[in-house]
Structure 1
Amino acid sequence: MGGNEEASNEIARKFRFLTAYKDGRVEIHYPTQKVPPSNDPNTGVQSKDVIISTEPPVSARIFLPKIHDPTQKVPVLYYIHGGGFCFESAFSPLFHGHLMTLVAEANVIAVSLEYGLWPERPLPGSYIDSWVGLQWIASHANGSGPEPWLNDHADLSRFFMGGDSGGANMSNFLAVHIGSYGLPGVRFIGMIMVHPFFGGMEDDEMWMSMYPTNCGKQDPKLKPPAEDLAKLGCKKVLIFLAEKDHLREVGGIFCEDLKKSRYKGAVEVVEHEGVAHEFHLFDPASDKSRSLVKKFASFLNEV
């Protein structure tokens, strides 16, 4: 019995976010917590959860700002959370709180995607889920989609998309697709990338282990080539970096690659000194976190 226990604890591979054992078990190092939707009496922001698709299973949490004038529609933000493709949630306290604050500051509707996580949903599953969510949002362009909040209050001629870490990576994937194939009824204004994950570091091996059919370290999802960056289907890009972030170097390389590509839009980079990855989620009351939210919000309001 002792021998079996010892064998079952034999590690096959260990990464930043997970440990894979030789018996097939996987241990995710960070638990995912979830909280129900709620309304904020101070700001008037409301939230609710919706089913986008049953196959694949995709859902979202929608945040609606306080509507002062029902005849005036507001911009839409499609947000994709980070978490190494294997943990975290649109329904977690961190992202729920962040989106509530952002929606109140920017006066936009936010659709925060809940996508499938590895290992239950191997990559490219989360990329597929993000595309499904995007198509669902676009289905409201003529005001007859399945979600009343979007039909009644969304201005899809002012559409923005973004996310943090792995979510920023997926946003870039979608922006390339929009630039290549279009998104009828939607005018894609800008993309926001917070502490983005791209290739060129030790986490590449983790990503490739999650993606059985990957194309290696030059996979365009991991390391977007210049020809893809030139296709981004938006007018402007805002990228946040953090000095002490383990993704700072690859984020900086992505910024330079984007500027050197033939992308015709505007690129703005904001770096916060002395802080680490996702600092704004873990310490939302800090001055730097508040400045990130204010900059994010102002970007959403400059069309």
Structure 2
Amino acid sequence: MGTLTHIIQSFKGEHALVTKQLGNHTTINGNEIYYEYYENKSAKQTFVLLHGFLSSSFSFRKMIPLMAANYKVVNIDLPPFGKSGKSHQFKYSYENMAETLIQLLENLHLGDVILVGHSMGGQICLNIAHQKPSIVKQIVLLSSSSYLPRMKKAMIYSSYLPFFPFYVKKYLEKSGLEANLQNVVYNQKMIDEEMRQGYMEPFLHNEIFRALSRMIRDREGDLDEKVLKTINTPCLLIWGSHDRVVPLSIGKRLKEDLPNSKLVVINDAGHLIPEEKPSQVMSIIVEHLQN
């Protein structure tokens, strides 16, 4: 494989080997899971991409061409986000999400995968490795959320109220798409109409707000230090130096708690590093895998 330049050249020259299966939906644990599978016929390793909270598989669109040249890639919409189902009966806990994704990977006959998780997706990666380490070869955590407790009881009880989804919608509208995008990137000049549309689209339908209400009461909190110390899967931690959502101090703490981990910091980058620094992120990953 070699350098990232070689990877990009390979993608341009051997794109015929890479096929994208569009619009894959499968029902697992009573909810519909949407995923894209880039099946590189010559690749031996598989990346599984898990996005962050209030995001979707859209956030990895700049990294996929760099990955698909030499790897198989599975890009997943975590329920209830993106094009995945928003069932009111599905349990939106990290434990159940991890169980659901393990079943998806088994259904696709994939094992020994490289999990890549951004923000909340990183926490799901850690849950998968905790539940079934045999299915995971490596973990790449991109500004991974960690150490967040469960929601306070008052908020959990409130989530049962009939009007609560409306409250969630109004809260997100008040915070505003533009302000949220400005908060997650260091270089705010990169925010364009494609980004605005891509991150807004999943929230144009009311079903997402009902599902988020259920997620508020189902989310059990992040894995604690005792559990993290039992995860021996090799973990590469990549952080933006100017992350305002999950600050670098969290990455440093996570490195201490994960026994087989390495932390790399990207300068002049915020929280949304798959968008902001895709080539640099991929270069770091490739170098790590080759060592």
Which residue identity does 1:293 align to in structure 2?
A: M
For structure 1, the residue ranges without an aligned partner over 5 or more in a row are 1-39, 68-72, 151-155
Highest Rg: 1 or 2? 1
Corresponding residue for 1:211? 216
Question: Following TM superposition, by how much is the alpha carbon of 1:299 offset from its aligned partner in structure 2, in angstroms?
Answer: 3.0
Query: For the aligned residues, what is the CA RMSD?
Result: 3.3
Corresponding residue for 2:113? 159
Counterpart contact for 1:240–1:269, Cα < 8 Å: yes
Q: 1:173 to 1:270 in 2, by over 3 A?
A: same
Partner amino acid, structure 1, of 2:119: S
Provide TM-score, normalisation by structure 1: 0.59
1:110-129 matched pairs, under 5 angstroms? 110-117=73-80, 120=86, 124-125=91-92, 127=94, 128-129=96-97
Deviation per CA, 1:276-299: give whole Å up to 9, x if none: 121441x4xxxx542211112333
Cα 1:137–1:279 change in 2 (3 A) is closer
Which residue type is aligned with residue 67 of structure 2? Answer: L
How far did 1:121 drift? 5.2
Give the corresponding residue for 2:243: 245
How many residue pairs match? The answer is: 214
- SS in structure 1 of the partner of residue 34 of structure 2: strand
Indicate whether 1:132 and 2:80 are aligned.
no
Measure, in 2, the Cα distance between the counterparts of 1:135 and 1:295: 29
CA contact (8 A) 1:79 1:162 kept: yes
Question: 1:17 is matched with which residue?
Answer: none
Amino acid at match of 2:21: K
Q: Residues 60-99 of structure 1: matches in 2 within 5 Å?
A: 60-65=35-40, 67=42, 74-82=44-52, 84=53, 86=54, 88-90=55-57, 92=58, 94-99=59-64
Alpha-carbon shift at residue 124 of structure 1 (Å): 4.8
Structure 1 residues 213 and 53, CA gap change in structure 2 (3 angstroms):
closer
| Conserved? CA contact 1:76–1:108, under 8 Å | yes
Q: Which has the higher contact order (CA 8 A, sep 6+)?
A: 2
- Matches of 1:191 and 1:133 in 2, distance apart? 15
Structure in which a larger fraction of residues adopt strand: 1
Mapped contact 1:102–1:297 kept (Cα < 8 A): no
Question: Take 1:242 and 1:175, find their aligned partners in 2: how far apart are those partners?
Answer: 24
Deviations 1:209-257 (A, max 9, x none): 8421455xxx3x2xx22221022251x11011111111342x5335424
CA contact (8 A) 2:92 2:215 kept: no
Distance 1:124 1:301 in 2: 38
Residue 271 of structure 1: aligned partner? 265
2:278 and 2:63 mapped to 1: Cα distance? 10
Contact 1:161 1:190 in 2 (8 A): yes
- The answer to which structure has the higher helix fraction is 2
- SS of the residue corresponding to residue 296 of structure 1 reads helix
Q: 1:163 to 1:138 in 2, by over 3 A?
A: same
Matching residue of 2:281: 292
Could you tell me whether the CA contact under 8 Å between 2:21 and 2:38 is conserved in 1? Answer: yes
Contact 2:25 2:33 (C-alpha < 8 Å) held by counterparts: yes
Provide Cα deviations, 1:76-106, integer angstroms capped at 9, x if missing partner. Answer: 1221112x2x3x322x3x42332222222xx
Task: Tell me, yes or no, if the aligned pair for 1:115 and 1:130 is still in contact at 8 Å.
Answer: no
Aligned-pair identity in percent equals 12
Call closer, same or farther: CA 1:258–1:208 in 2, change over 3 Å: farther
Partner of 1:24: none
CA-CA distance at 1:167 after TM superposition: 1.0
SS in 1 for 2:132: helix
Letter in 1 for 2:27: S
Deviation at 1:264, TM superposition (A): 4.1
Matching residue of 1:170: 124
- State how far apart, in whole Å, the 2-side matches of 1:172 and 1:199 are: 12
Q: TM-score, normalised by structure 2?
A: 0.61
Alignment of 1:186-205 (within 5 A): 186=135, 188-199=136-147
The question of whether the paired residues in 1 share the 8 Å contact of 2:93 and 2:219 is answered with: no
- Secondary structure at the residue paired with 1:277? coil
Name the SS for the 1:276 alignment partner: coil
Gaps of 5+ in 2: 1-10, 156-167, 169-211
Matched position secondary structure for 2:115 = strand
- Structure 1 residues 129 and 59: CA distance shift in structure 2, 3 A: farther
> Are 2:26 and 1:46 aligned?
no
- Is the 2:237–2:251 contact (alpha carbons within 8 Å) kept by the matching residues of 1? no
